[in-house]
């Protein structure tokens, strides 16, 4: 404004000075000149200098008039913009105050101030999402859902942000089914979104949906949401959990299909093969995996697999015994192998051989199961007194183990 005034006054002064110079120059002549303007029966005659000065003054009058007119025409818009700016600044201050109140636990106060100024904010989405969190924190679930709905309506293109907030709030309230429904929609919109995948993983684990986690693993690997070691552990956990669930349902074909679909690096992990073999034995299909189990033991000596081998209800116990006795050449003094050999010998009705294996196993490492099996052998042979002694020793050993466990827990 000041610049405009300086320009106007300066221009006027220059015009006056120019007029004075022209007047002084023309005064040196006898006839300084004149201007004649005619219109119909009217005419106007004046000196050249006066006309020039009048022309300049008229120009400035019109200039000022149109400047004033332009300012008046723009005035409503400026007033409106000024009002919007004031409201915007207030909404920004309200957002900060709402975030502070929310952080301090003043949920109701935060909710009110955020919603009051949301419509004038440059970031209404943040207002509604923060208000939704505040509403849930004070237990107003209906208000929470209302704010989330308004946020979705007023912020087009923010489906992911609104959906993630909604899913997080559902998860915090252990509303896993609702969270899964929201996350499934978001996953369809953006399959590689890291936050969506992370929350999906969390939701599936909370629901115990290992099939869902298994299907999610390729996306988790591709998007690098989890580290490589974490993905492998998750894959192993999913595989083992699915095998256990299939065994609980007694689904032989499902167990076999799951095992076939397991990656090779999972099949060779410690403890995973035992879950598969145990599942097959549990559903009465041990004979189907007897040879596979025997190969696994031969390749990687494992006591757990050895115990499972002894639990197989073989179609040919003599062949099973022959296979197990082949391991004696490498592990002649292994108490668990000797116990398993005694157990299989009982199935083969070779009581003397069973008694020898079991006595040797007990001599190397007394165990409850070895005493029980030896007692069964002696009872069948008619040696009831010694059989009772074996049962007695087994019970004493079992009770001692229980006492040790109790002491370890109490300690």
Q: Is residue 312 part of a domain?
A: no
Q: Which domain holds residue 96?
A: 10-23+48-156
What pLDDT is recorded for position 11? Answer: 62
Tokens of 377: 């052998």
Give tens-digit pLDDT for 282-341: 999 999 999 999 999 999 999 999 999 999 999 999 999 999 999 999 999 999 999 999
Q: Is residue 303 part of a domain?
A: no
What pLDDT is recorded for position 168? Answer: 87
pTM for the model: 0.67
Q: Is residue 408 part of a domain?
A: no
> How big, in percent rounded to 5, are the helix, strand and coil portions of the chain?
80, 5, 15
pLDDT above 70 coverage of the chain, percent: 71
Q: Is residue 328 part of a domain?
A: no
CATH code of the domain covering residue 76: 1.25.40
Cα 74 from Cα 69, distance rounded (Å): 9
Q: Is residue 345 part of a domain?
A: no
What pLDDT is recorded for position 240? Answer: 92
Q: Is residue 199 part of a domain?
A: no
Number of folded domains that form the chain: 1
What radius of gyration do the chain's Cα atoms show? 47
Q: Evaluate whether 186 touches 163 at the Cβ level (below 8 Å).
A: yes
Q: Is residue 84 part of a domain?
A: yes
339-343 long-range contacts (CB < 8 A, ≥24 apart) are: 339/310, 339/367, 339/369, 339/370, 339/373, 340/306, 340/307, 340/309, 340/310, 342/370, 342/373, 342/374, 342/377, 343/310, 343/373
First to last CA, the chain: 86
Neighbouring residues of 382: CB distance < 8 A, sequence distance ≥ 6: none
Mean pLDDT by 10 residues, the chain (411 residues): 62 64 59 67 69 70 71 65 53 57 61 63 69 75 77 75 86 89 89 89 91 89 84 90 92 92 88 93 92 93 94 93 94 95 95 94 93 93 92 89 61 50
DSSP states of 295-352: HHHHHS--HHHHHHHHH---S-HHHHHHHHHHGGGT-TT-HHHHHHHHHHHHHTT-HH
Q: Is residue 338 part of a domain?
A: no
What pLDDT is recorded for position 327? Answer: 95
Give tens-digit pLDDT for 116-164: 656 566 567 777 777 777 777 777 777 777 877 877 777 667 788 888 8
Cα 100 from Cα 110, distance rounded (Å): 8
What pLDDT is recorded for position 247? Answer: 92
What pLDDT is recorded for position 223? Answer: 83
What pLDDT is recorded for position 158? Answer: 76
């Amino acid at each position: 404004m000041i610049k405009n005034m300086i320009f106007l006054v300066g221009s006027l002064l220059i015009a006056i000075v120019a007029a004075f110079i022209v007047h002084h120059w023309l005064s040196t002549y006898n006839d300084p000149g004149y201007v004649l303007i005619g219109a119909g029966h009217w005419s106007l005659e004046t000196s050249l200098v006066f006309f020039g000065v009048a022309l300049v003054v008229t120009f400035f009058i019109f200039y000022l008039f149109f400047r004033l007119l332009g300012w008046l025409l723009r005035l409503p818009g400026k007033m409106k913009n000024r009002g919007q700016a004031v409201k915007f600044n207030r909404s920004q201050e309200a957002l900060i105050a709402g975030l502070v109140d929310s952080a301090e636990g003043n949920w109701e106060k935060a909710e009110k101030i955020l919603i009051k100024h949301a419509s004038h904010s440059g970031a209404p989405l943040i207002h509604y999402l923060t208000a939704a969190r505040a509403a849930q924190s004070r237990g107003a679930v209906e208000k929470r859902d209302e704010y989330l709905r308004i946020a979705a309506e007023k912020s087009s293109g923010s489906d992911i942000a609104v959906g993630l907030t909604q899913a997080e709030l559902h998860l915090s309230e252990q509303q896993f089914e609702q969270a899964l429904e929201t996350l499934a929609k978001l996953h369809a919109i953006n399959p590689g979104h890291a936050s969506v995948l992370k929350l999906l993983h969390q939701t599936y684990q909370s629901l115990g949906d290992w099939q869902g986690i298994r299907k999610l693993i390729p996306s988790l690997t591709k998007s690098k949401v989890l580290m490589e070691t974490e993905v492998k552990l998750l894959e192993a956990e999913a595989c083992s959990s699915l095998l256990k669930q299939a065994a609980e349902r007694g689904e032989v074909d499902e167990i076999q299909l799951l095992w076939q679909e397991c990656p090779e690096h999972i099949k060779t992990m410690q403890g995973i093969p035992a879950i598969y073999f145990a599942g097959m034995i549990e559903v009465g299909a041990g004979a189907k995996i007897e040879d596979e189990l025997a190969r696994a033991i031969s390749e990687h000596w494992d006591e757990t697999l050895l115990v499972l081998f002894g639990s197989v209800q073989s179609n040919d116990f003599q062949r099973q015994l022959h296979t197990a006795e082949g391991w004696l050449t490498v592990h002649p003094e292994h108490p668990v192998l000797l116990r398993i050999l005694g157990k299989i010998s009982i199935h083969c009705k070779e009581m003397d051989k069973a008694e020898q294996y079991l006595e040797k196993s007990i001599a190397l490492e007394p165990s409850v199961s070895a005493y029980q099996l030896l007692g069964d052998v002696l009872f069948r042979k008619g040696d009831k007194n010694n059989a009772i002694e074996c049962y007695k020793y087994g019970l004493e050993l079992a009770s001692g183990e229980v006492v040790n466990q109790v002491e370890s827990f109490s300690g």
